[in-house]
A and B are shown apart, each in its own frame.
Chain A
Amino acid sequence: MKIGPTVNGVSREVDVPAHHTLLSMLRDNLGLTGTKECCSEGECGACTVILDGQAVNSCLVLAPEADGAEIVTIEGIDHPLQRTFLEKGAVQCGFCIPGMIVAAKCMLDANPDPSEADVRKALEGNLCRCAGYKQIVEAVLAAAEASR
């Protein structure tokens, strides 16, 4: 099935089986391996991408649903978050980080002046086993301040 999403600002055309997910289309067909797979059931947030302005778990989106949609992945993001995550020591193994940054960016786009509770709410669907949560919250708040 031919799917025509715009990914990170570039129009793409991909031919994938209809039952494939947006996640596998990005990783396997488009070579954009920055978005990660972990739980495959929408619980961990590692696969978070932005679809038409909303943060979604791409493992739960069928590839055909992305036809004609605007997708933003970690590769398409250039944001103060990426600096503050490093400055605040929020990155350890790094596997959850693309999902975290995408989810955080999506929140900051809608809410540029979040409280700590807002940040925790926005990221409650992103698991981090290294558990750098405290530093992640600090990084998001610092990025919010840097963007103002």
Chain B
Amino acid sequence: MTRSGGSERATGAQRFTADLRIDGALHVKLVYVNCARARIVAIDKSAAAQVAGVRLIAAADDFPKPMPRCGPAYPDRPLLAVGETKFFGEPVAAVCAETEDAAEEAASLVRVEYEELPAVLTIEQAVASKSNAFGEWRFGWGDVDAARADCVVENTYTFPMVTHFAIEPLAMMAEGDRNGVTIWSPTQHPYVLQRVVAAALDWPVSKVRIVAPDPGGSFGGKAWPKLEPLMAYLALMAGRPVRLVLSLAETIQQTRRTSASIRIRSGFDAAGGIVFQDIEADFLLGAYADIAPRTVAKACYAACGPYRTANARIVARALLSNTTPATAFRGFGTPQASWATESQLNEAAGRLGIDRAEIRRRNLARKGEAFIPGDTPSDGHWEQALNKAMAAIGWGAPLGPNRGRGLSFGIKSSSTASVSNAIVRLHGDGSASILTSTSDMGQGARTVFTQIASRELGIPPDRIAIVMGDTAVTPFDSSTSASRSTVFMGNAILRACEDIRRQLRAIAAELPPRADSEADHEATVGPGDYERLLKRYYGSVRGEVIAVGTARSPYLPDHPLGGKPTFWEVMCAAAEVEVDRETGMVRIVRLALASDVGKALNPEHVRSQDEGAAIMGIGHTLMEQLILDSHGRIVNCGALDYRIPTIQDTPAEILSETIENEDGPGPYGSKGAGEGGVLAIAAAIGAAINEAAGVAIRDLPITPERLWRAIHVA
């Protein structure tokens, strides 16, 4: 089935948030200071207020005291900086004006007197400062200290600060009065945003409406509330709708992935069996917690990978800093953890003289095996992913000069303790509408949901409408995250369709038999009967059949993650690279991806997501990092100097395969997909570079400069 919403996107008809207009909306521009951390001495609005068309200049003093603070789990972030800025890009004032020009001019005239303060910008600085510790999690089993290993590999791996860089920058609008407020924001989680905005206003949730247009890419950067609570206040203060469209540079200042430094000591027996994993991981959060603590906990919980691990000790720490608030980002902490653990397996294999694929085969958890004691066991034949990746990359075939191959697994837990509701409406003419709060940000949710409803109700796809993203209309969904929507929202839709069929059978049973030979019999209501049946049942006023479906994974308060994973998202990636020793440039000759998806409801979408995620992973492996100066300012804060993969950076050949044993909990045996590609890439490429160039690099990104120095200077 062709992508739902595809033709709108190919013709420019699709309206993203910045394409929407509200009559009479004021344009908002934010005011910042030119460093990460500063004490705000005074804010002088007088010059700015003289600009024609300025209607409101708001700073901390204009807000309730104490200043409302927001956050999805920890309400720590003030609407505007109060007394002190804590990161480069934290707004200190907001200007609302009749035109963008007026807002921009006025924003440049707001005089902020400030005193720069020392800032914590790195993991080392955060560790040294006693007041930056946010949280610590300890996981493990067995007895690491008593375990006896024949080979111990100990290293520290680092993962840089990287930013989402969706091609659509952040944009949002707000409108309202004391009777209710509406926010337009391309959020992945409309119901989280609703809850956080309501809390910020101290209003009931029922008075807050979130309208969520499809994001132009998000990857986690538009998942958790950022500036929307501020916008709600501005709309109420100004008495006018307000519209904020951030530049790409401002957007980069607002969201990033947690960076990490992971010390890992891995013990193996002579046959390559994993005896212990001893992991100490420091993750650097930004100035406010956002959802980043959960990325640390969730990723480190499964940091040992999809392997049988006899003994484990994992200590994971989240540290605050004066940098961009880290938030969710495709992979949710797992790319960082996998980079460390999978690289360790590669090194151990080398030391023990074991093939690097074989060491994985020996340790891979078999289906049904609880590789994390007491938790959801392996739910797939993961060795099939290993076999497919090996075959696709040509594992073991002779290599040309300066070439190498590497292989890696990535595993990520699905959402835990989540719930999705869906409403299905069968209309009087036999067409249908699905109401769902899943966000389609390119992964193709709209299409998959249409496919499910079409199959379950027997209605052609072009007679099914999918309504998304409006809390006044589409029912509760906990989130579009953790690759959960095909499974959870898919099951909710499937169950709602089942209920539609049940109601139709009941209607048929209630009606008297027909005079002609074709009886509306209870057992034989098919799609061809819908319109006729409903006409007979309701009469000329017509009517429809409506059903609600729910899919939920239980909340377990005593579980470290609040609940058990419903499925594991698993990807095996293999890379062949060619290294240019003179320049340090790495060319990816071939990339093989094998993901265990249970059942690919839309194989083309799965392939697009797996390959797209892999290329995103190439970004953090070879080229992406946010660079800060000593004032904590992002030096490469734009497209010119923050390089994401272009069309010229893709592997010469990408082969993606799926493992489909129909053994997932979703519709027709499906599991989730969409993040797998970004989990495993770094260690696969790192190992390939190690074989090609004979150097081991444990810090990402492996830029040409870094690789050249490793080859020539060490």
Contact call B101/A97, Cβ cutoff below 8 A: no
CA distance A129 to B135 in the complex (A): 32
Contact call A37/B10, Cβ cutoff below 8 A: no
The 8 Å CB contact of A98, one of B12, B607, B650, is: B12
The 8 Å CB contact of A43, one of B8, B218, B640, B647, is: B640
B3 partner residues in chain A, CB cutoff 8 A:
86, 89, 91
The 8 Å CB contact of B10, one of A17, A44, A91, A123, is: A91
A96 partner residues in chain B, CB cutoff 8 A:
167
CA distance A96 to B615 in the complex (A): 16
Contact call B10/A82, Cβ cutoff below 8 A: yes
Please count how many residues in chain B sit with their CB below 8 Å of the partner chain's CB atoms.
Answer: 57
Task: Provide the B618-646 mask, 1 if CB < 8 A to any CB of A, else 0.
Answer: 00000000000000000000111000111
Which residues of chain A from 92 to 145 have a CB within 8 Å of any chain B CB? 92-98, 101, 120, 123-124, 126-137
Task: Provide the B639-680 mask, 1 if CB < 8 A to any CB of A, else 0.
Answer: 110001111101000100000000000000000000000000
CA distance A103 to B632 in the complex (A): 37
Contact call B216/A95, Cβ cutoff below 8 A: yes
Q: Is B527 an interface residue (CB 8 A)?
A: no
Q: Is A75 an interface residue (CB 8 A)?
A: yes
Contact call A41/B640, Cβ cutoff below 8 A: yes
Q: Is A54 an interface residue (CB 8 A)?
A: no
B640 partner residues in chain A, CB cutoff 8 A:
39, 41, 43
Task: Provide the B239-251 mask, 1 if CB < 8 A to any CB of A, else 0.
Answer: 0000001011000
The 8 Å CB contact of A93, one of B12, B216, B248, is: B216
Q: Which residue of A lies closest to B171 (CB)?
A: A37
Give the interface SS of chain A, mostly helix, strand, loop or mixed: loop
The 8 Å CB contact of A95, one of B5, B13, B217, is: B217
Contact call A93/B217, Cβ cutoff below 8 A: yes
Q: Is A6 an interface residue (CB 8 A)?
A: no
CA distance A82 to B5 in the complex (A): 13
CA distance A73 to B646 in the complex (A): 23
Contact call A75/B11, Cβ cutoff below 8 A: yes
Contact call B616/A131, Cβ cutoff below 8 A: yes
CA distance A87 to B443 in the complex (A): 16
Q: Is B2 an interface residue (CB 8 A)?
A: yes
Given A129-B616, A130-B442, decide whether A91 and B6 contact each other with a Cβ distance below 8 A.
yes
CA distance A87 to B650 in the complex (A): 21
A58 partner residues in chain B, CB cutoff 8 A:
none
Given A93-B215, A93-B442, A134-B611, decide whether A124 and B648 contact each other with a Cβ distance below 8 A.
yes
B5 partner residues in chain A, CB cutoff 8 A:
94
Contact call B168/A36, Cβ cutoff below 8 A: yes
Please give the distance in Å from A36's CB to the nearest CB on chain B. 7
Please give the distance in Å from A24's CB to the nearest CB on chain B. 8
Contact call B11/A34, Cβ cutoff below 8 A: yes
Contact call B15/A41, Cβ cutoff below 8 A: no
CA distance A60 to B218 in the complex (A): 26
CA distance A77 to B7 in the complex (A): 13
B15 partner residues in chain A, CB cutoff 8 A:
33
Most buried by A among B3, B443, B607, B614: B3
Please give the distance in Å from B441's CB to the nearest CB on chain A. 6
Q: Is A38 an interface residue (CB 8 A)?
A: yes
Contact call A132/B608, Cβ cutoff below 8 A: yes
Given A36-B16, A38-B248, decide whether A129 and B219 contact each other with a Cβ distance below 8 A.
yes
Which residues of chain B from 427 to 450 have a CB within 8 Å of any chain A CB? 441-444
Contact call B639/A97, Cβ cutoff below 8 A: no
CA distance A112 to B220 in the complex (A): 39
Contact call B167/A101, Cβ cutoff below 8 A: no
Please give the distance in Å from A90's CB to the nearest CB on chain B. 8
A86 partner residues in chain B, CB cutoff 8 A:
2-3, 6-7, 10
CA distance A85 to B10 in the complex (A): 7
Q: Which residue of B lies closest to A39 (CB)?
A: B639
Given A120-B648, A130-B217, A132-B608, decide whether A91 and B9 contact each other with a Cβ distance below 8 A.
yes
CA distance A81 to B9 in the complex (A): 12
Q: Is A22 an interface residue (CB 8 A)?
A: no
Q: Which residue of A lies closest to B13 (CB)?
A: A34
Task: Provide the B203-241 mask, 1 if CB < 8 A to any CB of A, else 0.
Answer: 000000000001111110000000000000000000000
Q: Is A46 an interface residue (CB 8 A)?
A: yes
B168 partner residues in chain A, CB cutoff 8 A:
36, 38, 93, 95
B615 partner residues in chain A, CB cutoff 8 A:
131, 133
B14 partner residues in chain A, CB cutoff 8 A:
94
CA distance A86 to B3 in the complex (A): 7
The 8 Å CB contact of A46, one of B167, B647, B648, is: B167
The 8 Å CB contact of A130, one of B7, B607, B608, is: B608
Task: Provide the A8-48 mask, 1 if CB < 8 A to any CB of B, else 0.
Answer: 00000000010000000001000011111111110110100
Q: Is B605 an interface residue (CB 8 A)?
A: yes
Q: Which residue of B lies closest to A75 (CB)?
A: B12
CA distance A39 to B9 in the complex (A): 20
B648 partner residues in chain A, CB cutoff 8 A:
120, 124
Please give the distance in Å from A93's CB to the nearest CB on chain B. 3
A33 partner residues in chain B, CB cutoff 8 A:
12, 15, 18-19
Given A131-B612, A132-B612, decide whether A137 and B11 contact each other with a Cβ distance below 8 A.
no
Most buried by A among B444, B607, B613, B646: B646
Contact call A93/B616, Cβ cutoff below 8 A: no
Q: Is A74 an interface residue (CB 8 A)?
A: yes
Across the A-B interface, give the 4 residue pairs with the lowest CB-CB distance, nearest first: A34-B12, A94-B9, A95-B216, A93-B442
Beyond the given pairs A17-B101, A91-B6, 16 more chain A to chain B contacts, judged by CB atoms under 8 angstroms and listed by A's residue number, are A33-B12, A33-B19, A38-B169, A39-B640, A46-B167, A83-B10, A89-B605, A91-B9, A92-B217, A92-B612, A94-B10, A128-B167, A129-B165, A131-B611, A131-B612, A134-B654
State the A residues within 8 Å of B (CB): 17, 27, 32-41, 43-44, 46, 73-75, 77, 81-83, 85-87, 89, 91-98, 101, 120, 123-124, 126-137
**Could you give 29 example pairs across A and B, Cβ below 8 Å?**
A34-B11, A34-B12, A36-B16, A36-B18, A36-B216, A37-B169, A40-B248, A41-B638, A73-B12, A74-B12, A75-B12, A81-B10, A82-B10, A82-B11, A86-B2, A86-B6, A89-B607, A92-B444, A92-B609, A92-B612, A93-B168, A95-B16, A95-B167, A120-B648, A127-B644, A130-B217, A130-B612, A131-B616, A131-B650
